[in-house]
Chains A and B, each alone.
Chain A
Amino acid sequence: MALLQTNEVVKRFGGLVAVNKMTFSVEKGRIVSIIGPNGAGKTTFFNSLTGIYTPEEGKIEFNGQSLIGLRPDQVASAGIARTFQNIRLFGSMTVLENILVGMHVRLKQNPFDILLRSKHFNDEEKESEEQAKELMAYVGLKNVGNELAHNLPYGGQRRIEIARALAANPTLLLLDEPTAGMNPNETEEAIKLFRRIRDDKGITILMIEHDMRVVMGISEHISVMDYGEKIAEGSPKEIRSNQRVIEAYLGRGAAVAHERKQ
C-alpha cells in the first residue's frame, strides 16, 4: 500500500479551484516530485496535505490514517515534516534551537520535569542536543550551532530548514522548492543530500521543484500539475517527452516545434 494516498482532493478559494480532484500517491522509500508552471496549485496541494488548509472534498491517507481535519501539528506528529518555499526559520533563535524546535513532537518532558529539572529532563535535553549536533553535521553545517539563524547565508538557512524537518524523525519529508535560489554547486550538494536522506534514513521524499536538473536527476516518479489538476505522471523519461507537459510549460506552439525537431 502507498505511504501517502490522496483521492480527488479539491481545495477552493472562493470561486477559484486551486486544487482540482488531485488523486495522487507516494510509495514508501521513493523520491517523488511534483512539477508544474507557477500558480499550478502545487504549494496549495502541499498545504492541504499538511493541514494548513482543509480541503473541501476528497480523502488524504497517510500510513492508513486519514489526515483530513487534522491540525498541522497533528500532521507533523503523524510523521510528515516539511520545509517552506520561502524559508521560514525562527530567525532570532540559534541554529541549534531551531533544530530542537523540530524535535518538539518527540520530546516527552512535562512541566514538572521542566520546573524541577528532573533527571528525565536533563537526559532528554542532553540527548536531543547531541542529536541536533549530529543533524547539523549531517546536512553539512559546521561551527554555526550558536549563530542566530537569520545571520546565516541563504544556502545555510536552507540546510537548517532541512535539518529542522529531519529532527522530527519523519517518515515523509515534504520539500517545497528546496533548491530555489541556489547556485549550481549548491544545487549539486543539495541533490546529494536528498539522496543520502532517502538512502541512509529511509525517509520518503516528496518535493516541489522547478529546477529540472534536480527533478530529472533524482526523482523516481514525477507528477505534473497545471491549473490545479494533475495532467501527467510517470518516470522522468516519460515526463520529458509528454506532449501535455511541454504544452503546459511552453505553450502549444513550442510543443509543436519541439515535435518537429524530434
Chain B
Amino acid sequence: MKKFFSDLYKKANTGIWPIVIALAFMVVGAVSVYQSPRSLTAFLILMATPMILYFMKMDMKVKVFIGLMLIIVILPVLGIRNIFYLEVIFQMAVFAALALGLNIVIGMAGLLDLGYVAFYAVGAYTWAIFGSKQLSLLHSIPGAAPADAPFALAPQWFWLFLFLGVGLAAMMGILLGLPVLRLRGDYLAIVTLGFGEVIRVLALNLDKPINLTNGPQGITPIQRPPLPPEGILQFLRTILTPIVGHPPTDAEFYNVMFYFIALIIIGIVILVATRLEDSRIGRAWTAIREDETAAIAMGVPLVKMKLAAFAAGASFAGAMGALYAANRTFVSPETFSFQVSIGVLTMVILGGLGSIPGVIFGASAVVLLNIQILQNFSLYLSDLRQSDKIIPIINFAWKDLSNQLDPAKYQKLVFGLILILMMIFRPSGLIPAERRQRELGEDKIEEE
C-alpha cells in the first residue's frame, strides 16, 4: 500500500504532471470558492496549491508564474467575493512572520523565548499611540475622552511607523537580551515569559499618571494607511465589478490593500530569514544552539550573536504588530496575552524548529485550524443544537449539549495537543529543517 502511493507520487512528480496537478488544484479550488464562497473544502483545495508548488518538481519560472497568478489575481478577486478569506490569509501572513521571527530565536539560536508576544505588542502600540487620538488625550481620564480630539498624525505616517515599530521592537529585543544572556534553557524561558507579561501589564496600567495606552479599554480608532488615489480605485472598480458581481466597496479595498502589505512584509521577512540563515551570522546562531562552549572557543562572540538573534526575531514581530494595529484600528492589552506566545511556539514546533518552510506551513495550518476549521465545526454543532435531532443509541438530544462544548473555545486544548503529539511522534516537525547541501566537486579533488 505504502509502496503503491510512493510509486504514484514518483510518477506524478515527473515531466509535465506537477504543472497539471498544480493548475488543476488552483482552477478547481478557485472555481469552487467562487461558486460557494462559504465552503471550507473549496478553500482547502485552493490552499493546497502553494504546497504543491513548493514540494513538486517544476521549472522555477513556471512555479513563480503560477504562484503570482494565485497571489495577485485569484486570491484578491475571491477575497472580494468573500472577505473572510483575505482575513484568513492576512492572519496567516501575520503569524507566519511572527513564527519566522521566533524561529530565529528558538529554532536557530536555541534560546527558548516564551515572551515573544511582547515585541508584537511593542510594534502594535507604537503605531497605536501615534496613529490614533491618544496623543491629544494624554491628560484625560480613560473612557471620558472628548469626541472631537484631533488625530496627532496624518495616516501617511503609518509607513514611517512601520519601520519605527521594527526598530523599537529590535531595541526591546536587545534590552530583554542583555539581562538574560547568562541564562540557558528553562531559566531563560521563565525570564522571557515574565518579560512578556511585564509588557502586557504595562500596556494595561499605563493609563496613569499620563494616559499613554488607555489601559484595559485599549486604543481606538487607529488610522489605516490611505488607499491608493481615486483614479486607480476607479480603474480597479471597472475591471472588478463584472468579475465579483458588485462594485467593490472601500472596506473591501482596504482588506485587499492590507492583504498586499502583509504579503510584501512576509516576503521581506522570508528573504531576510533565509539570507541570515545562510551566512556567517546564521551559522554562528546554529553553532551556539549546538554547543555554546565550542562556539565561543571557535571565536563566535556569544553576547553579540545572542543579542542579534533577539533583535532580528523581535523586529519581525514589530513590523507585524504595527500592521496589525492599523488593520484592526484597535489594540488592547488582551490581544497580547501569553497565549499568543504559546500559539506562535506551537506553529514553530508543528512546522519544524529551524525550518523556514516548516514554520510558514505551521503558522498557516494553525491559523486555519483556529479561525476556520474549529469555527466551522462550532457552527455545525450549533446548527445541530438548534435542530431536533437526537444522537441514536444513547438517546441524547443535541439540544441539551452544553454550550461549554463549543469547539471554538478549544484553542488551548488544541495547542496543547499539538505540542504533546509533536514532541512524541515528530519532534523535528512536519517539514524538518535541512542543512544546505553544497556543490562540493570532491570527486575532482580525488582525481588530482
List chain A positions with a Cβ less than 8 A from chain B: 50, 52, 71-73, 76-77, 81-82, 84, 88-94, 96-97, 100-102, 104-105, 107, 109, 111, 114-115, 117, 121, 125, 129, 133, 137, 142-143, 145-146, 148, 164-165, 168
Mark out the residues of chain B between 240 and 290 whose CB falls within 8 Å of any chain A CB in the assembled complex: 272, 275-276, 279-281, 283-284, 286-287, 290
Mark out the residues of chain B between 284 and 309 whose CB falls within 8 Å of any chain A CB in the assembled complex: 284, 286-287, 290-291, 293-302
B438 in contact with A129 (CB, 8 Å) = yes
A93 in contact with B435 (CB, 8 Å) = yes
B290 in contact with A91 (CB, 8 Å) = yes
Known contacts A101-B295, A114-B279, A146-B437: does B287 contact A90 (CB below 8 Å)? yes
A92 in contact with B290 (CB, 8 Å) = yes
A109 in contact with B280 (CB, 8 Å) = yes
Question: Which residues of A are found within 8 Å of B280, using beta-carbon distances?
Answer: 100, 104, 107, 109, 114
Across the interface, A90 reaches (CB within 8 A) one of B294, B299, B443, B445, namely B294
- The answer to whether B148 has its CB under 8 Å from any CB of chain A is no
A52 in contact with B297 (CB, 8 Å) = yes
Question: Which residues of A are found within 8 Å of B230, using beta-carbon distances?
Answer: none
Bound-state CA distance A139–B301 (Å) is: 27
A115 in contact with B299 (CB, 8 Å) = no
Bound-state CA distance A28–B275 (Å) is: 41
Nearest Cβ in chain A — how far from B356, in angstroms? 15
Task: Encode B423-438 as 1/0 by CB contact (under 8 A) with A.
Answer: 0000000000001111
Bound-state CA distance A125–B280 (Å) is: 9
Question: Which residues of A are found within 8 Å of B293, using beta-carbon distances?
Answer: 52, 72, 84, 88
Across the interface, B442 reaches (CB within 8 A) one of A76, A89, A142, namely A142
Bound-state CA distance A37–B373 (Å) is: 66
B272, B279, B286, B291 — most chain A CB neighbours (10 Å) = B279
Bound-state CA distance A114–B435 (Å) is: 18
How many interface residues does B have (CB within 8 Å)? 32
B272 in contact with A115 (CB, 8 Å) = yes
Known contacts A52-B293, A114-B281: does B299 contact A146 (CB below 8 Å)? no
- The answer to whether B440 has its CB under 8 Å from any CB of chain A is yes
Nearest Cβ in chain B — how far from A143, in angstroms? 5
A90 in contact with B295 (CB, 8 Å) = yes
Question: Which residues of B are found within 8 Å of A165, using beta-carbon distances?
Answer: 298
Known contacts A101-B298, A104-B283: does B276 contact A115 (CB below 8 Å)? yes
Question: Which residues of B are found within 8 Å of A164, using beta-carbon distances?
Answer: 298
Bound-state CA distance A96–B298 (Å) is: 15
A101, A105, A143, A146 — most chain B CB neighbours (10 Å) = A101
A107, A109, A114 — most chain B CB neighbours (10 Å) = A114
Question: Which residues of B are found within 8 Å of A107, using beta-carbon distances?
Answer: 280
- The answer to whether B400 has its CB under 8 Å from any CB of chain A is no
Known contacts A115-B272, A137-B445: does B294 contact A88 (CB below 8 Å)? yes
Nearest Cβ in chain B — how far from A33, in angstroms? 20
Across the interface, A143 reaches (CB within 8 A) one of B286, B298, B442, namely B442
Please, which residue of chain A has its CB at the minimum distance from the CB of B290?
A90
Nearest Cβ in chain A — how far from B443, in angstroms? 8
A93 in contact with B299 (CB, 8 Å) = no
Nearest Cβ in chain B — how far from A50, in angstroms? 6
Known contacts A84-B294, A101-B284, A146-B438: does B279 contact A76 (CB below 8 Å)? no
Question: Which residues of B are found within 8 Å of A146, using beta-carbon distances?
Answer: 435, 437-438, 440
Question: Which residues of B are found within 8 Å of A148, using beta-carbon distances?
Answer: 435
B281 in contact with A90 (CB, 8 Å) = no
Across the interface, B297 reaches (CB within 8 A) one of A72, A111, A114, namely A72
Across the interface, A105 reaches (CB within 8 A) one of B272, B279, B286, B299, namely B299
Further contacts, 15 of them, CB under 8 A, given A88-B293, A92-B290, A93-B286: A52-B296, A71-B301, A72-B293, A84-B293, A90-B287, A93-B287, A97-B436, A104-B298, A105-B298, A115-B275, A121-B279, A129-B438, A137-B445, A143-B443, A145-B438
